[in-house]
Amino acid sequence: MLPLPGLAGLLFPPAARLLSALPFAPQAFAWRATQRDAVERLIRSTGSALDPAGVALYHKLVSTPAHVAGALAMMANWDVAPLVRDLPSLRAPLTLVVGRGDETVSPEESRRVHRMVPGSRLVELEGLGHLAHEEAPALAARHIFEADGSCDAAHRR
């Protein structure tokens, strides 16, 4: 929700635009992802630990050029400045669910957003990383349902 801090914030947007414009970039990334160890390193770099089935799904996802092209296009078109500007006036309920071990987007970013949005709620999940929703899907879903108000007694267990 916030611009990347520091040097990454300056370099990432133009790099993403350049990569999304290069027709061979998605194929190159997808080819690299055919090497399972590359995918495992990518997942570990997020602060997450997935089971073999989760790793296999990510392997399939990131080795698909169309997915890589879509992700690059999304990142090339990020414009979070209007969102940052408007966050303090957000009136809809906001619950931020973050893995405390997230090494992709620092949990401090969620804390900053929480401080910016009056009445927001912050849930930090101990021992989980950027892919917390895949490491512990039932736990993440419980917090989402609670935030939505649709969590009944069966979901609270």
The domain ranges of the chain are 6-76, 89-151
Average pLDDT of the residues in 56-69: 94
5-40 pLDDT tens trace: 788 888 888 898 999 999 999 999 999 888 889 999
In the numeric block, the tokens 């949990």 are attached to 107
**67 neighbors 75 (Cβ within 8 angstroms):** no
pTM: 0.82
pLDDT on residue 149: 80
Reported as a single tens digit per residue, the pLDDT across 84-115 is 999 999 999 999 999 999 999 999 999 999 99
Is the model's pLDDT at 154 over the cut of 70?
no
